[in-house]
Amino acid sequence: MFKKVLIANRGEIAVRIVRACQERGIRTVAVYSEVDRTALHVRYADEAYPIGPAPASESYLRIDRIIEVAKAAGVDAIHPGYGFLAENPAFAQACRDAGITFIGPSPEAIRAMGDKVQARKTMMAAGVPVVPGTEEGIDDEEALAAAEALGYPVLVKAAAGGGGKGMRTVYTPEELPRALQAARREARAAFGDDRIYLEKLIDPARHVEIQILADSHGNVIHLGERECSIQRRHQKLIEEAPSTAVDEDLRRRMGEVAVRAARAVGYTNAGTVEFLLDPEGNFYFLEMNTRLQVEHPVTEMVTGVDIVKEQLAIAAGRRLRWRQEDIRWQGWAIECRITAEDPFNNFLPNSGKITYLQEPTGPGVRVESSLYEGMEVTLHYDPMIAKLIVWGETRAEAILRMRRALEEYRIGGIKTSIPFHIQVMNSTHFIAGRLHTRFLDNFTLNAADQARHPHVAAVAAALIARERERRAAARLQPQKSPQSPWRWAARLEALRR
């Protein structure tokens, strides 16, 4: 096994990887930007090195600086986490050239599956069903003609995309030019590649993905499916395993196709094959994420497989410990992505200092977070600040447990998506498992109950401030008849009614 691993990432995933390494007896090296100097992953790692200013383009995306730190620290391997350089074949190649193991697939596999257009071609050649669409990166005129041929609505997608970046839904020819420009602009900023292609929009559809593990000895298995249909702007918000739409036969068939897709590109390490599932049970290849997924914990909870530790073992050359028939699924797991956004103001990103933090605990509850009281949440990076995962023997128990855990979760100083998640857990459509990728289009947040709380808090804060002023004044002059604390408690209680 490796002796020392550098984590080329930040936030909760960096903390997650540090912990997995420590449980394997591996020393860890963290890297950080100027604003992350006091971050939790920096505190937990055995060593930490600065790599540049706050913007990711000047720090976490600088391949040269990360490789320089890796050499100086004498690491055996680099784990990229997800996001940033995780699916960058140039980074994987730079690790190889430096004699450092990249904990992930080969540069060739990343390149083959990272280019979505090329990935579609590879999957079609392997007999994997794909969504109808264009096969090449196309210009605007070609896109107009292709959209007419496919029939609206269509999806504009970045060829080098992922994570919902560079993606737009188009319902009419009039919308297409603007969507093309926006998708190209976003793709250029996120991936340095503005090529796009079109896909026919399958609607309604579920977003169901299959987790795979593959070693360097030719063994490939799948760990079942995850339901990721609840999305906003193509960004996943809630995931669960298993899916209410997948039975044993469909799981077997989707798993076999996912394994076939991985073998088609000589894939090694952990990866995810994403599918669209239509109401008739037909599934179509969407893309392959050549990295660890944000939602990997729900699969870990129902299979008992620690995916990050398996990544380490596979990268070190070990064989998979399981055969496909060894994998069993037990219970139900749900994950809510906690983001620093205001769900009652169109999910506007929020920043500020964490003034209070109380994380939920109890049976079947898991929190993956990098938060602590006094931490400054900035707008420089992705707004996801934590993940809340629960497990239950049944889906009903998992939902009830998630409700309870969300109600216990307290993050002071910033607005978060917690109220949104609570309302989804109370939604009759969610409870019934009637999910699809446009679930949130008809979902209205009820701010009525929430709206009262800020006013109560503001009045309470004003009373507390006045009490502090009164006490300060009392220290300067004698107090003839001090105010009873019970009277203040009664006033505050009256305000809550």
Residue 319 to residue 338: CA distance in whole angstroms: 35
Structure tokens at 45: 């790692």
Residue position matching structure tokens 């079942």: 224
Residue 379 to residue 28: CA distance in whole angstroms: 27
Structure tokens at 363: 């049976």
Structure tokens at 56: 């990711």
Angle among Cα 348, 351, 357 to the nearest 5 degrees reads: 115
* The one-letter amino acid at 206: R
Task: Extract long-range pairs of 86-91: CB within 8 Å, 24+ residues apart.
Answer: 86/9, 86/290, 86/291, 86/292, 87/114, 87/162, 87/289, 87/290, 87/291, 88/63, 88/114, 89/114, 90/63, 91/8, 91/63, 91/66
Burial 16-45 (b: 16+ CB within 10 A, else e): bbbebbeebebbbbbbbbebbeebbbbebb
Q: What positions carry a catalytic annotation?
A: 291
Query: Using an 8 Å Cβ cutoff, are 127 and 339 in contact?
Result: no
Angle among Cα 87, 198, 192 to the nearest 5 degrees reads: 35
Query: Using an 8 Å Cβ cutoff, are 320 and 212 in contact?
Result: no
